[in-house]
Protein backbone atom coordinates (compact mmCIF):
# COMPACT_ATOMS: atom_id res chain seq x y z
CA UNK A 1 0.00 0.00 0.00
CA UNK A 2 1.15 3.52 -0.73
CA UNK A 3 0.95 6.02 2.08
CA UNK A 4 0.56 9.75 1.94
CA UNK A 5 4.23 9.99 2.92
CA UNK A 6 5.27 8.25 -0.30
CA UNK A 7 2.84 10.08 -2.55
CA UNK A 8 2.92 13.77 -1.73
CA UNK A 9 0.51 16.32 -3.08
CA UNK A 10 1.75 18.00 -6.24
CA UNK A 11 1.17 21.34 -4.54
CA UNK A 12 4.17 20.62 -2.29
CA UNK A 13 6.62 23.48 -2.77
CA UNK A 14 9.57 21.58 -1.28
CA UNK A 15 9.90 19.09 -4.13
CA UNK A 16 13.10 18.97 -6.14
CA UNK A 17 14.57 16.39 -8.49
CA UNK A 18 17.09 14.29 -6.64
CA UNK A 19 20.65 15.30 -7.43
CA UNK A 20 23.32 12.76 -6.62
CA UNK A 21 24.13 14.59 -3.39
CA UNK A 22 20.49 14.90 -2.40
CA UNK A 23 19.98 11.21 -3.09
CA UNK A 24 22.79 10.31 -0.72
CA UNK A 25 21.35 12.32 2.14
CA UNK A 26 19.43 9.88 4.32
CA UNK A 27 18.18 12.46 6.79
CA UNK A 28 16.22 14.72 4.45
CA UNK A 29 12.51 13.94 4.30
CA UNK A 30 11.60 13.38 0.67
CA UNK A 31 9.09 11.40 -1.38
CA UNK A 32 10.60 7.91 -1.60
CA UNK A 33 8.72 7.05 -4.75
CA UNK A 34 10.53 9.75 -6.66
CA UNK A 35 13.93 8.29 -5.94
CA UNK A 36 13.39 5.43 -8.32
CA UNK A 37 14.54 5.61 -11.90
CA UNK A 38 14.25 9.14 -13.17
CA UNK A 39 17.23 11.25 -14.07
CA UNK A 40 17.01 14.96 -13.39
CA UNK A 41 15.84 17.00 -16.40
CA UNK A 42 19.32 18.34 -17.06
CA UNK A 43 20.41 14.80 -17.95
CA UNK A 44 19.62 14.87 -21.61
CA UNK A 45 20.61 11.48 -23.02
CA UNK A 46 18.13 8.69 -22.43
CA UNK A 47 18.76 5.34 -24.13
CA UNK A 48 16.03 4.33 -26.57
CA UNK A 49 14.67 0.80 -25.98
CA UNK A 50 15.90 -1.43 -28.79
CA UNK A 51 12.34 -2.62 -29.47
CA UNK A 52 11.49 0.78 -30.86
CA UNK A 53 14.85 2.23 -31.79
CA UNK A 54 14.50 3.70 -35.27
CA UNK A 55 16.80 2.22 -37.87
CA UNK A 56 19.71 4.35 -39.02
CA UNK A 57 18.17 4.61 -42.48
CA UNK A 58 14.99 6.07 -41.01
CA UNK A 59 16.90 8.58 -38.96
CA UNK A 60 18.81 9.61 -42.07
CA UNK A 61 15.56 10.04 -43.96
CA UNK A 62 14.33 12.54 -41.40
CA UNK A 63 17.42 14.57 -40.80
CA UNK A 64 17.50 18.06 -39.32
CA UNK A 65 16.82 19.77 -42.66
CA UNK A 66 13.53 17.93 -43.13
CA UNK A 67 10.74 20.50 -43.10
CA UNK A 68 7.71 18.46 -44.15
CA UNK A 69 5.87 15.65 -42.45
CA UNK A 70 2.48 13.98 -42.53
CA UNK A 71 -0.12 14.86 -39.94
CA UNK A 72 -3.82 14.57 -39.21
CA UNK A 73 -5.61 17.84 -39.92
CA UNK A 74 -9.10 19.03 -39.08
CA UNK A 75 -10.49 21.65 -41.49
CA UNK A 76 -14.06 21.57 -40.25
CA UNK A 77 -15.61 20.41 -36.98
CA UNK A 78 -17.52 17.16 -36.98
CA UNK A 79 -17.32 13.38 -36.72
CA UNK A 80 -14.16 11.26 -36.99
CA UNK A 81 -14.34 11.53 -40.80
CA UNK A 82 -13.22 15.19 -40.69
CA UNK A 83 -9.70 14.08 -39.78
CA UNK A 84 -7.55 14.17 -42.93
CA UNK A 85 -4.05 12.75 -43.48
CA UNK A 86 -2.03 15.54 -45.08
CA UNK A 87 1.46 16.84 -45.63
CA UNK A 88 2.37 19.78 -43.38
CA UNK A 89 5.32 22.12 -42.94
CA UNK A 90 7.19 21.43 -39.72
CA UNK A 91 10.10 23.82 -40.01
CA UNK A 92 12.99 24.31 -37.65
CA UNK A 93 12.74 24.85 -33.89
CA UNK A 94 13.20 28.42 -32.66
CA UNK A 95 14.66 29.67 -29.36
CA UNK A 96 13.63 27.42 -26.49
CA UNK A 97 12.08 24.82 -28.81
CA UNK A 98 12.81 21.28 -29.89
CA UNK A 99 11.57 19.26 -32.82
CA UNK A 100 10.59 15.65 -32.17
CA UNK A 101 9.93 12.73 -34.46
CA UNK A 102 6.96 11.14 -32.76
CA UNK A 103 7.14 7.41 -32.07
CA UNK A 104 3.89 6.90 -30.11
CA UNK A 105 0.95 9.26 -29.65
CA UNK A 106 -1.62 9.06 -26.86
CA UNK A 107 -5.30 9.44 -27.78
CA UNK A 108 -7.39 11.24 -25.17
CA UNK A 109 -11.05 12.10 -24.95
CA UNK A 110 -10.13 15.78 -25.04
CA UNK A 111 -9.08 15.23 -28.69
CA UNK A 112 -12.69 14.31 -29.43
CA UNK A 113 -13.97 17.49 -27.71
CA UNK A 114 -11.71 19.65 -29.90
CA UNK A 115 -12.62 17.78 -33.08
CA UNK A 116 -16.33 18.24 -32.38
CA UNK A 117 -15.99 21.85 -31.19
CA UNK A 118 -17.01 21.19 -27.57
CA UNK A 119 -13.75 23.02 -26.82
CA UNK A 120 -12.53 25.65 -29.27
CA UNK A 121 -9.30 24.83 -31.09
CA UNK A 122 -6.75 27.68 -31.19
CA UNK A 123 -6.89 27.84 -35.02
CA UNK A 124 -8.45 26.25 -38.07
CA UNK A 125 -7.33 24.01 -39.64
CA UNK A 126 -5.61 22.29 -36.72
CA UNK A 127 -3.77 19.11 -35.88
CA UNK A 128 -5.33 17.42 -32.84
CA UNK A 129 -3.52 15.61 -30.05
CA UNK A 130 -2.07 16.55 -26.70
CA UNK A 131 0.31 13.73 -25.85
CA UNK A 132 3.28 12.14 -27.57
CA UNK A 133 6.58 10.41 -27.10
CA UNK A 134 9.32 11.06 -29.57
CA UNK A 135 12.98 11.37 -30.39
CA UNK A 136 14.49 14.85 -30.55
CA UNK A 137 15.55 15.58 -34.17
CA UNK A 138 16.60 19.23 -33.77
CA UNK A 139 17.06 21.78 -30.99
CA UNK A 140 16.56 25.54 -31.16
CA UNK A 141 19.53 27.92 -31.14
CA UNK A 142 21.27 28.19 -27.80
CA UNK A 143 19.14 25.55 -26.07
CA UNK A 144 20.99 23.49 -23.47
CA UNK A 145 19.86 20.39 -21.64
CA UNK A 146 18.35 18.71 -24.71
CA UNK A 147 20.08 17.15 -27.69
CA UNK A 148 19.30 15.25 -30.84
CA UNK A 149 18.50 11.63 -29.96
CA UNK A 150 16.91 12.31 -26.57
CA UNK A 151 13.69 10.46 -25.88
CA UNK A 152 11.08 12.78 -24.44
CA UNK A 153 7.36 12.83 -23.74
CA UNK A 154 4.84 15.60 -23.28
CA UNK A 155 1.19 15.93 -22.33
CA UNK A 156 -1.01 19.01 -22.65
CA UNK A 157 -0.33 22.10 -24.73
CA UNK A 158 0.64 22.69 -27.46
CA UNK A 159 -1.98 20.80 -29.39
CA UNK A 160 -0.72 18.99 -32.48
CA UNK A 161 0.70 15.59 -31.53
CA UNK A 162 -1.15 13.66 -34.30
CA UNK A 163 1.85 14.23 -36.55
CA UNK A 164 5.04 12.49 -37.64
CA UNK A 165 7.00 15.48 -36.39
CA UNK A 166 6.17 18.29 -34.00
CA UNK A 167 7.78 21.45 -32.65
CA UNK A 168 7.53 21.76 -28.85
CA UNK A 169 8.73 24.22 -26.23
CA UNK A 170 11.55 22.33 -24.47
CA UNK A 171 9.92 23.26 -21.15
CA UNK A 172 6.98 20.90 -21.69
CA UNK A 173 9.10 17.86 -22.55
CA UNK A 174 10.12 15.40 -19.85
CA UNK A 175 12.65 12.60 -20.17
CA UNK A 176 11.21 9.08 -20.50
CA UNK A 177 12.89 6.60 -18.16
CA UNK A 178 14.47 3.68 -20.06
CA UNK A 179 12.32 1.22 -18.11
CA UNK A 180 9.15 2.60 -19.72
CA UNK A 181 8.73 1.91 -23.45
CA UNK A 182 7.39 4.49 -25.86
CA UNK A 183 3.90 3.04 -26.22
CA UNK A 184 3.51 2.76 -22.46
CA UNK A 185 4.74 6.29 -21.95
CA UNK A 186 2.35 7.67 -24.60
CA UNK A 187 -0.57 5.89 -23.03
CA UNK A 188 0.16 6.84 -19.45
CA UNK A 189 1.55 10.35 -19.27
CA UNK A 190 -1.56 12.51 -19.68
CA UNK A 191 -3.93 9.96 -18.16
CA UNK A 192 -1.53 9.04 -15.35
CA UNK A 193 -0.80 12.66 -14.43
CA UNK A 194 -4.55 13.22 -14.38
CA UNK A 195 -4.91 10.32 -11.96
CA UNK A 196 -2.05 11.69 -9.85
CA UNK A 197 -3.57 15.16 -9.65
CA UNK A 198 -7.06 13.84 -8.88
CA UNK A 199 -5.97 11.41 -6.16
CA UNK A 200 -3.13 13.35 -4.56
CA UNK A 201 -3.93 17.04 -5.08
CA UNK A 202 -7.62 17.66 -5.78
CA UNK A 203 -8.81 15.26 -3.08
CA UNK A 204 -6.14 13.42 -1.13
CA UNK A 205 -7.24 9.80 -1.02
CA UNK A 206 -6.16 7.94 2.09
CA UNK A 207 -6.53 4.50 3.55
CA UNK A 208 -10.10 4.09 4.84
CA UNK A 209 -11.69 6.33 2.21
CA UNK A 210 -14.32 4.98 -0.15
CA UNK A 211 -14.10 6.32 -3.70
CA UNK A 212 -16.42 6.04 -6.67
CA UNK A 213 -14.82 6.09 -10.14
CA UNK A 214 -17.08 6.40 -13.19
CA UNK A 215 -15.93 4.82 -16.49
CA UNK A 216 -13.59 2.67 -14.42
CA UNK A 217 -12.32 0.68 -17.40
CA UNK A 218 -11.41 3.75 -19.48
CA UNK A 219 -7.94 5.19 -19.92
CA UNK A 220 -7.98 7.47 -16.90
CA UNK A 221 -10.44 5.26 -14.99
CA UNK A 222 -8.20 2.18 -15.11
CA UNK A 223 -5.28 4.13 -13.62
CA UNK A 224 -7.46 5.87 -11.01
CA UNK A 225 -8.76 2.53 -9.74
CA UNK A 226 -5.32 0.92 -9.51
CA UNK A 227 -3.79 3.93 -7.76
CA UNK A 228 -6.71 4.46 -5.35
CA UNK A 229 -6.55 0.78 -4.41
CA UNK A 230 -2.80 1.09 -3.79
CA UNK A 231 -3.50 4.05 -1.50
CA UNK A 232 -5.70 1.82 0.64
CA UNK A 233 -9.12 3.07 -0.44
CA UNK A 234 -12.20 0.97 -1.03
CA UNK A 235 -12.83 1.43 -4.74
CA UNK A 236 -16.23 1.30 -6.41
CA UNK A 237 -16.18 1.50 -10.21
CA UNK A 238 -18.92 1.96 -12.77
CA UNK A 239 -18.73 0.50 -16.28
CA UNK A 240 -21.10 -0.23 -19.15
CA UNK A 241 -20.63 -3.98 -19.67
CA UNK A 242 -19.22 -7.25 -18.30
CA UNK A 243 -15.94 -7.13 -20.23
CA UNK A 244 -15.20 -3.73 -18.72
CA UNK A 245 -16.35 -4.98 -15.30
CA UNK A 246 -13.78 -7.79 -15.46
CA UNK A 247 -10.97 -5.31 -16.25
CA UNK A 248 -12.12 -2.95 -13.48
CA UNK A 249 -12.00 -5.83 -10.98
CA UNK A 250 -8.46 -6.70 -12.11
CA UNK A 251 -7.56 -3.04 -11.69
CA UNK A 252 -8.46 -3.05 -8.00
CA UNK A 253 -12.17 -2.21 -7.88
CA UNK A 254 -13.65 -3.88 -4.83
CA UNK A 255 -17.15 -3.37 -6.22
CA UNK A 256 -18.21 -2.85 -9.83
CA UNK A 257 -21.57 -1.41 -10.86
CA UNK A 258 -22.77 -1.91 -14.42
CA UNK A 259 -24.43 1.49 -14.73
CA UNK A 260 -26.21 0.67 -17.96
CA UNK A 261 -28.51 -1.64 -16.01
CA UNK A 262 -28.07 -0.96 -12.28
CA UNK A 263 -29.04 2.16 -10.34
CA UNK A 264 -25.76 3.65 -9.16
CA UNK A 265 -27.05 5.54 -6.10
CA UNK A 266 -29.01 2.52 -4.82
CA UNK A 267 -26.04 0.19 -5.24
CA UNK A 268 -23.62 2.63 -3.58
CA UNK A 269 -25.96 2.96 -0.60
CA UNK A 270 -26.06 -0.85 -0.30
CA UNK A 271 -22.28 -1.17 -0.58
CA UNK A 272 -21.56 1.59 1.96
CA UNK A 273 -24.40 0.69 4.37
CA UNK A 274 -26.06 4.02 3.63
CA UNK A 275 -22.98 6.17 4.42
CA UNK A 276 -22.02 7.14 0.87
CA UNK A 277 -18.56 7.71 -0.54
CA UNK A 278 -15.94 10.31 0.37
CA UNK A 279 -15.25 11.28 -3.24
CA UNK A 280 -16.70 10.69 -6.69
CA UNK A 281 -14.40 11.04 -9.70
CA UNK A 282 -16.88 11.80 -12.47
CA UNK A 283 -15.65 12.10 -16.07
CA UNK A 284 -18.93 11.02 -17.66
CA UNK A 285 -20.86 14.20 -16.81
CA UNK A 286 -24.39 14.54 -18.10
CA UNK A 287 -25.51 10.95 -17.52
CA UNK A 288 -23.92 10.52 -14.07
CA UNK A 289 -23.62 13.80 -12.16
CA UNK A 290 -27.02 13.54 -10.40
CA UNK A 291 -26.25 10.05 -9.11
CA UNK A 292 -22.77 11.27 -8.17
CA UNK A 293 -24.23 13.91 -5.84
CA UNK A 294 -26.59 11.33 -4.35
CA UNK A 295 -23.75 8.87 -3.70
CA UNK A 296 -21.69 11.28 -1.61
CA UNK A 297 -21.30 11.02 2.16
CA UNK A 298 -21.64 14.09 4.34
CA UNK A 299 -18.81 16.55 3.45
CA UNK A 300 -17.98 14.49 0.36
CA UNK A 301 -16.20 15.77 -2.77
CA UNK A 302 -17.66 15.71 -6.24
CA UNK A 303 -14.71 15.93 -8.61
CA UNK A 304 -16.20 16.56 -12.04
CA UNK A 305 -13.32 16.27 -14.50
CA UNK A 306 -14.87 15.37 -17.84
CA UNK A 307 -18.01 15.07 -19.89
CA UNK A 308 -17.81 12.04 -22.16
CA UNK A 309 -21.65 11.79 -22.20
CA UNK A 310 -22.17 15.56 -22.48
CA UNK A 311 -21.97 18.65 -20.28
CA UNK A 312 -23.55 18.18 -16.85
CA UNK A 313 -26.36 20.62 -15.99
CA UNK A 314 -25.53 23.26 -13.38
CA UNK A 315 -25.82 21.95 -9.82
CA UNK A 316 -27.91 24.17 -7.51
CA UNK A 317 -26.10 25.32 -4.34
CA UNK A 318 -28.95 23.82 -2.31
CA UNK A 319 -27.95 20.34 -3.53
CA UNK A 320 -24.51 20.90 -1.98
CA UNK A 321 -25.92 22.41 1.22
CA UNK A 322 -27.94 19.32 2.09
CA UNK A 323 -24.72 17.39 2.91
CA UNK A 324 -22.11 20.21 3.10
CA UNK A 325 -20.62 18.91 -0.15
CA UNK A 326 -17.64 20.19 -2.12
CA UNK A 327 -17.72 20.55 -5.88
CA UNK A 328 -14.65 21.08 -8.03
CA UNK A 329 -13.97 21.00 -11.77
CA UNK A 330 -10.20 20.52 -12.09
CA UNK A 331 -8.08 20.62 -15.22
CA UNK A 332 -4.73 18.84 -15.37
CA UNK A 333 -3.13 21.88 -16.99
CA UNK A 334 -3.77 24.04 -13.91
CA UNK A 335 -2.03 21.51 -11.66
CA UNK A 336 1.05 21.03 -13.86
CA UNK A 337 1.61 24.59 -15.00
CA UNK A 338 5.02 25.03 -13.40
CA UNK A 339 8.03 22.98 -14.43
CA UNK A 340 8.34 21.60 -10.87
CA UNK A 341 4.70 20.50 -10.79
CA UNK A 342 5.05 18.88 -14.22
CA UNK A 343 8.19 16.97 -13.27
CA UNK A 344 6.75 15.86 -9.97
CA UNK A 345 3.54 14.59 -11.52
CA UNK A 346 5.27 12.84 -14.44
CA UNK A 347 7.88 11.47 -12.01
CA UNK A 348 5.19 9.93 -9.80
CA UNK A 349 3.52 8.34 -12.81
CA UNK A 350 6.66 6.87 -14.39
CA UNK A 351 7.89 5.66 -11.00
CA UNK A 352 4.56 3.94 -10.35
CA UNK A 353 4.73 2.27 -13.76
CA UNK A 354 8.28 1.12 -13.09
CA UNK A 355 7.49 -0.24 -9.63
CA UNK A 356 4.34 -2.05 -10.74
CA UNK A 357 1.75 0.04 -8.88
CA UNK A 358 0.30 0.97 -12.26
CA UNK A 359 -0.25 -1.60 -14.95
CA UNK A 360 -0.48 0.29 -18.25
CA UNK A 361 -3.13 -1.14 -20.50
CA UNK A 362 -2.17 -0.31 -24.08
CA UNK A 363 -5.18 -2.23 -25.35
CA UNK A 364 -5.56 -0.49 -28.72
CA UNK A 365 -2.98 0.69 -31.25
CA UNK A 366 -3.74 2.19 -34.67
CA UNK A 367 -1.53 3.64 -37.40
CA UNK A 368 -1.51 7.42 -37.04
CA UNK A 369 -3.09 7.77 -40.50
CA UNK A 370 -6.11 5.86 -39.12
CA UNK A 371 -6.76 8.18 -36.20
CA UNK A 372 -10.39 8.48 -37.32
CA UNK A 373 -10.94 4.81 -36.53
CA UNK A 374 -9.46 5.32 -33.05
CA UNK A 375 -11.81 8.24 -32.42
CA UNK A 376 -14.85 6.30 -33.62
CA UNK A 377 -14.01 3.43 -31.27
CA UNK A 378 -13.35 5.77 -28.31
CA UNK A 379 -16.60 7.65 -28.79
CA UNK A 380 -18.45 4.40 -29.42
CA UNK A 381 -17.41 3.18 -25.94
CA UNK A 382 -15.62 0.21 -27.60
CA UNK A 383 -12.24 0.79 -25.96
CA UNK A 384 -10.80 -0.33 -22.62
CA UNK A 385 -7.66 1.22 -21.17
CA UNK A 386 -5.50 3.37 -23.43
CA UNK A 387 -5.31 4.02 -27.16
CA UNK A 388 -2.02 4.78 -28.91
CA UNK A 389 -1.37 5.94 -32.49
CA UNK A 390 1.82 4.78 -34.14
CA UNK A 391 3.27 7.04 -36.85
CA UNK A 392 4.31 5.27 -40.03
CA UNK A 393 7.59 6.58 -41.34
CA UNK A 394 7.98 7.37 -45.04
CA UNK A 395 9.96 4.23 -45.80
CA UNK A 396 7.31 2.16 -43.99
CA UNK A 397 4.55 3.89 -45.93
CA UNK A 398 6.39 3.18 -49.16
CA UNK A 399 6.80 -0.46 -48.11
CA UNK A 400 3.19 -0.82 -47.11
CA UNK A 401 2.05 0.76 -50.38
CA UNK A 402 4.35 -1.60 -52.28
CA UNK A 403 3.01 -4.57 -50.27
CA UNK A 404 -0.57 -3.44 -50.93
CA UNK A 405 0.23 -3.20 -54.68
CA UNK A 406 1.75 -6.67 -54.62
CA UNK A 407 -1.28 -8.02 -52.76
CA UNK A 408 -3.58 -6.42 -55.34
CA UNK A 409 -1.66 -7.77 -58.32
CA UNK A 410 -1.42 -11.24 -56.70
CA UNK A 411 -5.13 -11.27 -55.99
CA UNK A 412 -5.86 -10.40 -59.63
CA UNK A 413 -3.76 -13.43 -60.64
CA UNK A 414 -5.83 -15.81 -58.51
Counting contacts by CB under 6 A, is residue 365 touching ligand NAP?
no
Does 287 help bind ligand NAP (rule: CB under 6 A)? yes
Nearer to ligand NAP, 62 or 109 (CB): 109
Q: Which of 175, 218, 252, 391 binds ligand NAP (CB under 6 A)?
A: 218
CA–CA distance, 245 with 252 (Å, rounded to integer)? 11
> Strands across the sheet with 277-282, in order?
255-258, 234-239, 210-213, 277-282, 296-304, 326-328
Structural contact between residues 343 and 172, judged by C-beta atoms closer than 8 angstroms: no
Whichever of 202 and 297 has its CB closer to ligand NAP, that residue is: 202
CB count within 10 Å of CB 181 equals: 20
197-225 residues labelled b (16+ CB within 10 A) or e (exposed): bbbbbbbbbeeebbbbbbbbbbbbbbbbb
**Stretch of 43-51, 300-308, 338-346, 348-356 contacting ligand NAP, by CB under 6 A:** 300-308
Per-residue contact flags (x/-) with ligand NAP for residues 58 to 77, judged by CB under 6 A: --------------------
Q: Does 154 bind ligand NAP (CB under 6 A)?
A: no
Instruction: Pick between residue 287 and residue 319 the one whose CB is nearest to ligand NAP.
Output: 287
Among 34, 97, 102, 109, binds ligand NAP (CB under 6 A): 109
Among 86, 340, 377, 379, binds ligand NAP (CB under 6 A): 379
Q: Rounded distance, CA 177 to CA 277, Å?
A: 36
3-state helix, strand, coil in the chain (%, to 5): 35, 20, 45
Q: How far is the CB of 283 from ligand NAP (least distance, A)?
A: 3
**How many Å apart are CA 361 and CA 248, to the nearest integer?**
12
Instruction: Please say which residue, 70 or 244, places its beta carbon nearer to ligand NAP.
Output: 244
Pick the piece of the chain touching ligand NAP (CB under 6 A) from 86-94, 107-115, 290-298, 354-362: 107-115
Q: Which residue is nearest to ligand NAP (CB)?
A: 218
Is residue 134 at the binding interface for ligand NAP, with CB under 6 A as the rule? Answer: no
281 binds ligand NAP (CB under 6 A): no
Q: Which residues pair with 106 in a beta bridge?
A: 388
Within 187-310, strands assigned E span 210-213, 234-239, 255-258, 277-282, 296-304
- Is there binding between residue 4 and ligand NAP (CB under 6 A)? no
Q: Is position 361 an interface residue for ligand NAP (rule: CB under 6 A)?
A: no
Q: What is the distance between the terminal CA atoms of the chain, rounded to a whole angstrom?
A: 61
Contact of 279 with 300, CB cutoff 8 Å: yes
| Candidate residues 69, 153, 239, 368; the one interacting with ligand NAP per rule CB under 6 A | 239
The answer to whether the bond into 125 is cis (omega within 30° of 0) is: yes
Q: Which is nearer to ligand NAP, 189 or 297 (CB)?
A: 189
Answer yes or no: are the C-beta atoms of 369 and 207 closer than 8 Å: no
DSSP string computed for 164-176: SEEEEEGGG-EEP
C-beta closer to ligand NAP: residue 139 or 185: 185
Under the criterion CB under 6 A, does residue 7 sit at the interface with ligand NAP?
Answer: no
Q: Is there binding between residue 192 and ligand NAP (CB under 6 A)? A: no
Under rule CB under 6 A, residue 304 binds ligand NAP: no
The C-alpha angle 44, 50, 54, rounded to 5 degrees, equals: 80
Residues at the interface with ligand NAP (CB under 6 A): 108-110, 191, 194, 215, 217-221, 239-240, 244, 283-284, 287, 305-309, 330-332, 378-379, 381, 383
Amino acid sequence: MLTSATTPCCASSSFSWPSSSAASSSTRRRPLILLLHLPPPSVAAVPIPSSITPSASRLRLRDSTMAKAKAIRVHELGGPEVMRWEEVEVGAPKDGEIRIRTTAIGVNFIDVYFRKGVYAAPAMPFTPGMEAVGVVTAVGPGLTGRKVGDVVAYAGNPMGSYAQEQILPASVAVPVPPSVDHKQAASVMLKGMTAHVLLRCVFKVQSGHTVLVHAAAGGVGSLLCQWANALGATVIGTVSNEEKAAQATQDGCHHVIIYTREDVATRVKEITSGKGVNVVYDSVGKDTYKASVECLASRGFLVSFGQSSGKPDPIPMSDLASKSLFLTRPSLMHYTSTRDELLESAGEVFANVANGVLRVRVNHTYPLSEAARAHADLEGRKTLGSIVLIPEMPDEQANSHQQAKERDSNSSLL
